[in-house]
Structure 1
Amino acid sequence: MRRCPVLCGILLIFLTISLSGQKYTLSGYVQDNATGERLIATSVYDSISGKGTSTNEYGFYSLSLPAGEIRLKASYVGYSTFSETIRLGANLSMNIHLEPSLQLEEVVVTTNRPGDVVRDVQMSAVHIPVKEIKSIPMFMGEADVIKTIQLMPGVQSGTEGTSGIYVRGGGPDQNLFLLDGVPIYNANHLFGFFSVFNPDAISSITLTKGGFPAHYGGRLSSVLDIRLKEGNMKEFKGSGSVGLIASKLTLEGPLLRDKTSFILSARRTYLDILARPIIRAVNKANGVEGMTGYYFYDVNAKINHKFSEFDRIYLSLYHGRDRLYINNEENRIDDDTSYQTRSEAGLYWGNLTTALRWNHVYGNKLFSNASLIYSNYRFDTFDETQTLVNGKYDLGYSYDYYSGIEDVGGMVDFDYRPSTAHTLRFGSKYLYHTFSPGIETLESTDDTLRLEFNSDPVYAHEFYVYGEDNFQLGSRIRANVGLHYSAFIVRGKYYHSLQPRFSGRLLITPDLSLKAAFTRMDQYIHLLTNSTIGLPTDIWVPATDQTPPQRSYQSALGLAYNLKDSWYFTLEGFYKTMNGLIDYSEGSSFFSYGVDWEDKIERNGSGLSYGLEFLARKDLGRIRGWVGYTLSKVDLQFANLNNGNPYPYTYDRRHDVSVVVMFRVDEQTDLSATWVYGTGKARTLAVSRYAPDNYHFENTGSGIIYYGPYSSGYYTPEIEYFKGKNAYREPAYHRLDVAMNRHRETKWGRQTWSFGVYNAYNRQNPFYLFFGYDNYGNRALKQMSIFMLIPSISYSFEF
Structure 2
Amino acid sequence: MRSTLFIIVLLVVNSPLFSQGSANFSVITIRENAIKVGDLLAEITRQSGADFTYNSLVVDSDSVLSFKVKKATLEETLDLLSEKIHVVYTIVEGQIILNFEKKVEPPKYFTLSGFLADQSSGENLISATVSVNGTGRGVFTNEFGYYALTLEEGEYTIKSSYLGYQDTQTKVTLDQNLKKNLLLPPAAIGLPAVIVHPPLEDIQNKKQLGRLSLRSEELNNLPEFAGESGLVKGLQTLPGIKMHSDGSSFFYTRGGERDQNLVIIDDAPIFNPSHMLGFYSLVIPDFTKDIQVYKSDVPASMGDRLSAIVSIRTKDGNLKKGGFSGALNSFVNRLSLEAPLVKERSSIFLSLRRSNYEWLYKNNAENIDLYFQDFQFKWNYKVNQNNRLFFTLIQSGDVFENRAGPVSGVRWGNLASTFRWNHIFSSRLFANTTFYTGNYAYKLQIPPNYWQSQLSMFSFKTDFTYYSNTNSIANFGLEMQAYFNNPGSISFDPTVDLLPEITNNYSRKTAFYYQASHRLTDRLKLNTGARVTIWSNLGPKTYFGFDENYNVNDTINVTAGIYNSFVNADPRLSLQYSLDSTSQLKLSFGTYHQYLQLISNTISPFTAFEVWLPASPNIEPQFASQWAINYLKYFPIANMEISAAAYYKKFRNQIDYEPYSTPYLNPLLEGELRFGTAQSYGLELLVKRDFGRLNGWISYTYSRVFRETEGINDGLTYRAFQDRPHDFSLVLNYQLKKRILFTANWISQSGSTFTSPTGFYTFHEQKVPIYGERNNDRLPTYHRLDVSWQFTLNRKPDNKYQHSLVFSIYNALAHKNVFAVKFNKLLQDGYGPKIGANVLSDQQLSPSQIDLVRFFPSLTYKFKL
Bigger drift between 478-487 and 503-512 goes to 503-512
2:646 partner letter: G
Aligned equivalent of 1:792: 858
Aligned equivalent of 1:556: 628
1:399-798 alignment, distance < 5 Å: 399-443=449-493, 449=496, 451-491=498-538, 492-529=563-600, 530-564=602-636, 566-590=639-663, 592-599=664-671, 601-692=672-763, 716-745=765-794, 748-772=800-824, 777=830, 779-798=845-864
Does the 8 A contact of 2:591 with 2:626 survive in 1? Answer: yes
Does the 8 A contact of 1:735 with 1:760 survive in 2? Answer: yes
Is 1:363 equivalent to 2:426 in the alignment? yes
> How far apart are residue 228 of structure 1 and its match?
1.0
Distance 1:238 1:139 in 2: 23
Distance 1:649 1:72 in 2: 51
> How far apart are residue 141 of structure 1 and its match?
2.3
> Aligned pair in 2 of structure 1 residues 452, 96: CA closer, same or farther (>3 Å)?
same
Does the 8 A contact of 1:407 with 1:433 survive in 2? Answer: yes
SS at the partner of 2:361? helix
> Aligned pair in 2 of structure 1 residues 346, 115: CA closer, same or farther (>3 Å)?
farther
| TM-score (structure 1 length as normaliser) | 0.88
Does the 8 A contact of 1:602 with 1:640 survive in 2? Answer: no
Distance 1:438 1:596 in 2: 13
1:302-313 alignment, distance < 5 Å: 302-313=378-389
> How far apart are residue 453 of structure 1 and its match?
3.1
Aligned equivalent of 1:393: none
Aligned equivalent of 1:145: 231
Distance 2:225 2:748 in 1: 17
Distance 2:345 2:723 in 1: 51
- How many positions carry a matched residue from both structures? 730
> How far apart are residue 7 of structure 1 and its match?
9.4
> How far apart are residue 187 of structure 1 and its match?
1.0
Is 1:216 equivalent to 2:292 in the alignment? no
Distance 1:781 1:300 in 2: 44
Distance 2:204 2:435 in 1: 32
SS at the partner of 2:721? coil
> How far apart are residue 543 of structure 1 and its match?
0.7
1:23-172 alignment, distance < 5 Å: 23-103=109-189, 107-112=197-202, 114-117=204-207, 120=208, 123-172=209-258
SS at the partner of 1:18? coil
> How far apart are residue 49 of structure 1 and its match?
3.0
2:172 partner letter: I
> How far apart are residue 685 of structure 1 and its match?
0.5
Distance 1:597 1:296 in 2: 32
SS at the partner of 1:279? coil
Structure 1 unaligned regions, length at least 5: 281-290, 329-341, 385-397, 693-710
Q: Deviations over 1:669-723 (max 9, x none)?
A: 111101111111101011222335xxxxxxxxxxxxxxxxxx7xxxx21242223
1:172-191 alignment, distance < 5 Å: 172-191=258-277
Asked which structure has the greater RCO (Cα within 8 Å, sep 6+), the reply is 1
Distance 1:525 1:11 in 2: 73
Q: Deviations over 1:231-264 (max 9, x none)?
A: 1100111111112311111111111101111111
1:370 partner letter: T
> How far apart are residue 594 of structure 1 and its match?
4.8
Match of 2:361 among 255, 272, 275: 275
2:655 partner letter: I
1:557 partner letter: I
Distance 1:748 1:277 in 2: 41
Distance 1:771 1:536 in 2: 24
Q: Deviations over 1:562-609 (max 9, x none)?
A: 11261111111110011112233211234x54544324x323222111
2:535 partner letter: F
Distance 1:208 1:168 in 2: 11
SS at the partner of 1:665? strand
> How far apart are residue 8 of structure 1 and its match?
14
SS at the partner of 2:120? coil
Does the 8 A contact of 1:37 with 1:233 survive in 2? Answer: yes
> How far apart are residue 450 of structure 1 and its match?
5.2
Aligned equivalent of 1:392: none
> How far apart are residue 23 of structure 1 and its match?
2.0
Q: Deviations over 1:26-75 (max 9, x none)?
A: 10000011111100000100023321000000100000112222121111
Aligned equivalent of 1:18: 105
> How far apart are residue 618 of structure 1 and its match?
0.7
Distance 2:259 2:825 in 1: 37
Aligned equivalent of 2:75: none
Does the 8 A contact of 2:226 with 2:332 survive in 1? Answer: no
2:529 partner letter: G
Does the 8 A contact of 1:355 with 1:371 survive in 2? Answer: yes
Distance 1:425 1:11 in 2: 49
1:653 partner letter: R
SS at the partner of 1:449? coil
Distance 1:583 1:276 in 2: 42
SS at the partner of 1:159? coil
Q: Deviations over 1:179-205 (max 9, x none)?
A: 101111111111122111111111110
1:673 partner letter: A
Distance 1:410 1:115 in 2: 32
Distance 2:272 2:431 in 1: 29
SS at the partner of 1:556? strand
Does the 8 A contact of 1:44 with 1:113 survive in 2? Answer: no
2:428 partner letter: K
Q: Which has the larger radius of gyration?
A: 2
> How far apart are residue 102 of structure 1 and its match?
2.9
Match of 1:298 among 345, 367, 374: 374
SS at the partner of 1:537? coil
Does the 8 A contact of 2:157 with 2:170 survive in 1? Answer: yes
SS at the partner of 1:438? strand
> Aligned pair in 2 of structure 1 residues 549, 639: CA closer, same or farther (>3 Å)?
same
Match of 2:320 among 225, 234, 256: 234
Bigger drift between 570-579 and 78-87 goes to 78-87
SS at the partner of 2:377? strand
Does the 8 A contact of 1:54 with 1:114 survive in 2? Answer: no
Distance 2:718 2:318 in 1: 52
Does the 8 A contact of 1:52 with 1:114 survive in 2? Answer: no
Does the 8 A contact of 2:488 with 2:665 survive in 1? Answer: no
Distance 1:321 1:507 in 2: 47
Does the 8 A contact of 1:111 with 1:510 survive in 2? Answer: no
Aligned equivalent of 1:695: none
Does the 8 A contact of 1:440 with 1:453 survive in 2? Answer: no
1:356 partner letter: F
1:751 partner letter: H
Determine what percentage of the aligned residue pairs are the same residue: 28
Does the 8 A contact of 1:441 with 1:450 survive in 2? Answer: no
> Aligned pair in 2 of structure 1 residues 552, 534: CA closer, same or farther (>3 Å)?
farther
1:339-354 alignment, distance < 5 Å: 343=406, 345-354=408-417
> Aligned pair in 2 of structure 1 residues 222, 684: CA closer, same or farther (>3 Å)?
same
Q: Deviations over 1:413-438 (max 9, x none)?
A: 00110111001000010001011101
> How far apart are residue 786 of structure 1 and its match?
2.1
> How far apart are residue 643 of structure 1 and its match?
1.5
Distance 1:508 1:11 in 2: 49
